[in-house]
Amino acid sequence: MKEFLQYDEVRNNALILADKIYREDNFVPDIIYTSLRGGAYMANVISEYYKVALKNHKPVLYAAVVARSYTDVSKHEAVRIDGWTYSPEYLRMGDKVMLVDDIYDSGRTLNYLVSILLEKGVPRENIKVVVHDYKVYHYKEQPPVRPDYWCRKFEINNPEQNPWINYNSHELVGLTSTELEENYYKPYPELRKILEPLFKQDN
């Protein structure tokens, strides 16, 4: 089960969610961190929303963190931070932080990032975890930090119900020839001469 999620759907959902966070919940972050790569497209939209909504008020800082899950030689699953464009060391007392990613799946990466912010003295109530897709696994344990906001929520009771979401804003790896035909070549014929040679190399 694979879903191809289009740019405009993510954009529209992000705008609706940003408006709820701002107008209904009155949350204005001092900084938005996007988790690269997946969170960038949604975070860009939310950042633009705040630029327009706040106009002449103090701007919201926009930064990125590169984090990835890996398995070490002892087979322990962990998270590595490759870098921050604005280090949490510079956060001030009382700063409000929004952490944006495309999906909450295992939750390891977002939990690790929140733990770093907590260590730097940012209280949990000042951190808002925002994702487009939130997967809730009822058949296995999930980590303590959960999203505060999401666009879509998936209640998953067994592995067969777990959807594979392809974010068309950045994902190419793992596409089949049929998926390329339906989602790239038919709507955008000019992409065939670009992508077809690349994917033939894998065969």
Sorted by where each begins, the domain ranges of the chain are 2-170, 172-203
- Flag whether the pTM goes above 0.85: yes
> 28-37, 62-71, 79-88, 113-122: which has the minimum mean pLDDT?
62-71
- At residue 140, does pLDDT exceed 80? yes
Nearest to 32 by CA among 80, 78, 22: 22
Q: What value does the mean pLDDT take over residues 59-76?
A: 75
pLDDT of residue 191: 94
Q: What value does the mean pLDDT take over residues 99-122?
A: 95
pLDDT of residue 35: 92
pLDDT of residue 116: 95
Q: Does the structural domain 2-170 have CATH classification 3.40.50.720? A: no
Q: What value does the mean pLDDT take over residues 66-84?
A: 72
pLDDT of residue 71: 53
Which CA distances in Å does 26 have to 50, 84, 96, 182, 194? 12, 27, 12, 42, 45
Residue partners of 50: CB distance under 8 A and separation at least 6: 18, 22, 28, 29, 32, 60
pLDDT of residue 74: 47
Q: Is 195 exposed, middle or buried (0-12, 13-18, 19+ CB in 10 A)?
A: middle
Q: What value does the mean pLDDT take over residues 69-85?
A: 71
